[in-house]
Structure 1
């Protein structure tokens, strides 16, 4: 009973202190699509992700009820950086749902103009508001409505100490008449947050009290990236592993602090409760404790020894990589290693694929080349008897001009196209679908059935697979080249594919582009099969990998190729439109259907 009363009392006090209107709340996940479209339509960077913002700490002057409830120490505010646009997860500040929604729209529109720094927060926001209203005057009523509600939400200057009151009046003047205030009067506490302005970027992982960032966020126009908030961080010398849980008694209050040893450079395993623990922590402590040598060398042991690895075909191929930060290529930055499985053995088509393969061969055999005779040619393999008879008749009738096209020749009526299939075999393909079948097994079946179909249509095709471990080891597995026949040897190489390592997609696409550019066919298709976004152990995570892959796709388009991506990633619609374009990818909702869907997709793509 005591606990129930305490809980209800806490709930009541918090609700009274927060001063929000939960019945008029608007959530970012419901507005993400509209906000993404608006942001990019107004000129915002299309590569930015739409992500929920983490709370920022403020030393504001709080009322007694707010101190009692422990609220108003942290606020979710809008800001953007080179990686993402971050907006509050939920807005319920105003007693009107349309006004709360307008606040989301206004913040997205304001962020489309750029980001802010600490030095220009006041003047920068005023200038951005002026620019936005001049550029898009239709937003003027929205802004005025938001200003009215914001002024009602903010503290009354007359109730504040003199210095803070002067500062609050200056902020109100800047909201009402943007551009009229150049500096803010000094005061001891922080000013009450301005919810309709942007805030400066937080610097990831530096000094104490700063925030540490997560680069793995992606979204499309209208897509909302998964909730990955930045955390406040402090740097400490080392942890004592024996003190994973600390509790102390201060009268009857307990404080809990969790410690999870995470060695990012040497350990990539996932802690089961890491996300839940991080959500409960206000500050994450980072240490450079490297006492465990076994963890430090773990990844070096991931690569097989020379005698146990696949065969290396040559010394390796050096390829460039696109650095979006400097907007330039890093020449010879990646080393791609062509490889050939030495454990593969010639294998017949698996029994469970025999029936669908037979059906596909019948369907695709209708596309194979047909011999057709072209009549009345000036030269050819045989005389055209009909043309010769007509010439003799013309000669006997004394016609002056006689047709000299007396031959016929045989022409192959074939489709002028070539296809290179590039399969992602990173470690993520080792996961299970519905606890019955691994992704790599589904991918193998898909490659087998598509190969059977292409063999029946006699379209030239090649198959390669790729994975990576940092930029100096991009593995490019040879399965079938354009010049090789598709037979039991190729089938054995497909069956020998095993998952491992990471997904440096840009380098693999560049090598596939080089191979396809050497073909003489008019239509050249680069078909990519994957189950996730580009990533690797080094800097190839987040926007860096996405931008490099996007540039590699653009290079393929400029070379006259048709790149097309087939994926089973549920989140692919958050990043593939930016990489491949809206019409150059497809998401297979049911991964188990991939083997049967691949030939159909190929037929529609080449029709």
Structure 2
């Protein structure tokens, strides 16, 4: 009985303490496409992901009901960094869904005109609003509607302590009349979240000066330059020793008297962590921390340990490596240059691949596709009675000789020319064999099964038309292990040995696409044909576990594609990724990719796409 009453009371008091309007809540998933389109259309970085921001604790003064209910005040705010724009997971700030939707759009507009860096949080946001409204006057009515409704929901100024009263009054005035407030007082608590403004990035690389007392503005330019000159990557950090925590791995803090930052505790066992990670990874982690927290681990590590990489199979079970590997460069978008010999690519052959014929279930489909490709077959023939040509047309010459003996006869074409619709083309198909291909499409089929069928039918189609083609697969585990699986090279015929390799492929690891594209570009560029087509078959975006996730992988892949285009190679991507529209237009251009929403159609669609891409050549 007590538990039942307690549960009822908890639900009641929590609902009373919650200032949000749940009945008008709009989730990020409902507006993700709209805000992404607005962000990019108004000049936002096309490479940035538009994602939901996770909720964090926001340290502000709690109301009486919030203290009783134990509300932890988790909030999700809008912010951005170099790789992504993060918008709230959901918005229930206003009592109507229309206003909450408009707020999402407004935040996307602000983010499109801001780089994520703040010198003074409140002043910069005011100026950002002023700049946006000057550039887009049609947004004034929408902003005023949001601002008026938002200020009405703010805490009553009369109910606040004096210091907080001045701060709240300044914020409300800054919202209603952007740019009119030049001074913000110091307070002990952060104000209630200002959802109409952007917040600083969660990364402490963005050193955010949030003191609202104009001390920075009083410094001379010379003093600022001296301070900047003293900053180095080897800056000393404040250390703090604490007990090893079990919970609260991360907390967002906003203090008006200091700065906005993320305080994060990381379990880092210096005695047993892998020692083969890049030094630059450690350095980046150190630079991201304002304060390094150390704790004494309670567990005792064993004196002897066996280190294994659980990602990789044993040598006896792994694919067969070919040679010592190939060193390849990689693009560092932060430094805007190509880092030579950064990746090690390992050519491989599928293990236990045995010669096999085309599976019976695909034979009927293969015959149908081959019939469609008949019109592309190279046909060569002689053109007779030509005024010029490679050889003498004996038949035409004999007719002319006989006629000239009996009467005056005009000379006709006496030569023949060898003509035809010969297709001078090479195609390399590069298939993504990452671990995501192990996902099930239904009870019987996985993504890798669909990829295998696609490669088999593709090979049947191109071998029937006589085009020069090759097929490779790729996956990766960090930059030192990019796996490049040879299924068919340009010098071998499409045979049962090739079919056996295709049927032996298995899901791999991650998707370091840039290195694979560079090697594929090198292979196809060695062909002597006039037309060169690089087809990339994938089910996701570039990623790996050593900082290749996000913008780094996208920019490196984009650079690799640009390198291929400069060599006269035509890259084209076929994807089954439902989120492909977020990044493929930047990588391949609006007409350089196609999205297949039903993966089961891939085996038949792939040869058809090749037919469409090459039928005019």
If the length of structure 2 is used for normalisation, what is the TM-score?
0.80
CA distance in 2, matches of 1:148, 1:410: 80
Pairs within 5 Å for 1:264-283? none
- Which residue of the partner structure matches residue 451 of structure 1? 459
Is the 1:429–1:440 Cα contact (8 Å) retained in structure 2? yes
- Paired position in structure 2 for 1:252: none
Tell me the distance in 2 between the aligned counterparts of 1:286 and 1:393: 108
2:418 equivalent to 1:410: yes
Q: In the aligned structure 2, how far is the partner of 1:165 from the partner of 1:195?
A: 19
Matched, 1:544 2:552: yes
What SS does structure 2 have at the residue aligned with 1:344?
Answer: coil
Q: Secondary structure at the match of 2:141?
A: helix
Deviation at residue 119 of structure 1 after TM alignment:
3.9
Deviation at 1:233, TM superposition (A): 3.5
The answer to whether structure 1 residue 350 and structure 2 residue 359 are counterparts is yes
Aligned runs of 1:15-164 on 2, under 5 Å?
Answer: 15-71=15-71, 73-117=73-117, 119-164=119-164
Q: Residue 265 of structure 2: SS of its match in structure 1?
A: strand
Q: Give CA-to-partner distance per residue, 1:327-358, whole Å, 9 cap, x none.
A: 22111211222233464333222333332223
CA distances 1:166-209 after superposition (whole Å, capped 9, x unpaired): 12222223223322333311122212222111111112799998
Q: 1:35 to 1:341 in 2, by over 3 A?
A: closer
Q: Is the 8 A contact 2:311 2:509 kept in 1?
A: no
> Where does residue 428 of structure 1 map in the other structure?
436
Deviation at 1:410, TM superposition (A): 2.4
How far apart, in 2, do the equivalents of 1:315 and 1:340 lie? 14
Kindly provide the CA deviation profile for residues 199-245 of structure 1, in whole angstroms up to 9, marking residues without a partner as x: 111127999988499xxxxxxxxxxxxxxxx9973245779xxxxxx
User: Shift in Å at residue 37 of structure 1?
Assistant: 0.9
Q: Can you list the C-alpha shifts for 1:25-65, whole angstroms capped at 9, x where unaligned?
A: 22221111111111111111111112222234333233322
**Which residue pairs with 1:469 in the alignment?**
477
1:335 to 339, 344, 350: 344
Contact 1:528 1:566 in 2 (8 A): yes
Give the 3-state SS of the residue equivalent to 1:321 in structure 2. Answer: strand
When residues 341 and 48 of structure 1 are mapped into structure 2, their CA distance, relative to the original with a 3 A threshold, is closer
Q: 2:590 aligned with 1:582, yes or no?
A: yes
What per-residue deviation string (whole Å, max 9, x for no partner) do you get for residues 246-277 of structure 1?
xxxxxxxxxxxxxxxx98999xxxxxxxxxxx
Q: Tell me the SS of whatever aligns to 2:372.
A: helix
Choose the corresponding residue for 2:530, options 504, 507, 522: 522
Secondary structure of 1:165's counterpart equals helix
- 1:431 and 1:97 map into 2 onto residues whose CA distance is 36
Provide the rounded CA distance (Å) in 2 between the counterparts of 1:50 and 1:558: 30
For the residue of structure 1 that corresponds to 2:419, the secondary structure is: strand
Q: Call closer, same or farther: CA 1:303–1:384 in 2, change over 3 Å.
A: same
Is the Cα contact below 8 Å between 2:25 and 2:97 reproduced in 1? yes
Q: Deviations over 1:542-578 (max 9, x none)?
A: 2222221222223223332222222333444443333
2:128 match: secondary structure:
helix
**Deviation string for 1:48-95 (max 9, x for gaps)?**
112222234333233322322334733222111112111112222223
1:299 aligned counterpart, secondary structure: coil
Residues of 2 paired with 1:576 and 1:148: CA distance?
A: 40
Q: 1:235 to 1:365 in 2, by over 3 A?
A: closer
Query: CA–CA distance in 2 between the matches of 1:287 and 1:536?
Result: 32
- Any residues of structure 2 matched to 1:234-245 within 5 Å, and which? 234-235=265-266
2:57–2:251 Cα contact (<8 Å) kept: no
Pick from 322, 347, 369 the counterpart of residue 378 of structure 2: 369
Q: Distance in 1 between matches of 2:589 and 2:305?
A: 41
Q: C-alpha separation between the residues in 2 aligned to 1:580 and 1:327?
A: 20
Partner of 2:395: 385
Deviates more, 1:462-471 or 1:353-362: 353-362
Please give the alpha-carbon distance, in whole angstroms, between the structure 2 residues aligned to 1:349 and 1:294.
51
The 8 Å contact of residues 327 and 344 in structure 2, kept in 1 or not, is answered as yes
* Gap change, CA 1:22 and 1:430, over 3 Å in 2: closer
Q: Do 2:396 and 2:413's aligned partners in 1 also have CA atoms closer than 8 Å?
A: no
Instruction: Report the Cα distance in structure 1 between the residues aligned to 2:342 and 2:13, rounded to whole angstroms.
Output: 59
Moved more, 411-420 or 454-463: 411-420
Q: Is the 8 A contact 2:202 2:262 kept in 1?
A: no
Aligned equivalent of 1:595: 603
Closer/same/farther in 2, CA of residues 290 and 359 from structure 1, 3 Å limit: farther
Alpha-carbon separation, structure 1, partners of 2:158 and 2:588: 57
1:483-522 aligned at under 5 Å gives the runs 483-522=491-530
Task: Give 1:9 deviation, angstroms.
Answer: 3.2
Q: Does structure 1 conserve the Cα–Cα contact (< 8 Å) formed by 2:351 and 2:504? A: no
* TM-fit CA distance, 1:455: 0.8
Q: Which runs of 5+ in 2 are unaligned?
A: 206-236, 241-247, 253-260, 277-293
From the superposition, tell whether residues 429 and 27 of structure 1 become closer, same or farther in structure 2 (CA, over 3 Å): closer
CA distance 1:414–1:434, shift in 2 (3 Å): same
> Is the contact made by 1:202 and 1:210 (CA closer than 8 Å) also made in structure 2?
no
Q: 1:114 to 1:398 in 2, by over 3 A?
A: same
Measure the CA separation in 1 of the matches of 2:151 and 2:311: 61
- Partners in 2 of 1:429 and 1:522 — Cα distance? 34
**Structure 1 pair 395–28 and aligned structure 2 pair: CA distance change class (3 A):** farther
Asked whether the equivalents of residues 381 and 418 of structure 2 are also in contact (C-alpha less than 8 Å), the reply is yes
For structure 1, the 5+ residue unaligned runs are: 214-229, 240-261, 267-284
In 2, distance between residues paired with 1:59 and 1:580? 44
Matches within 5 A, 1:164-203: 164-203=164-203
SS at match of 2:497: helix
Contact 2:580/2:595 (8 A) holds in 1: yes
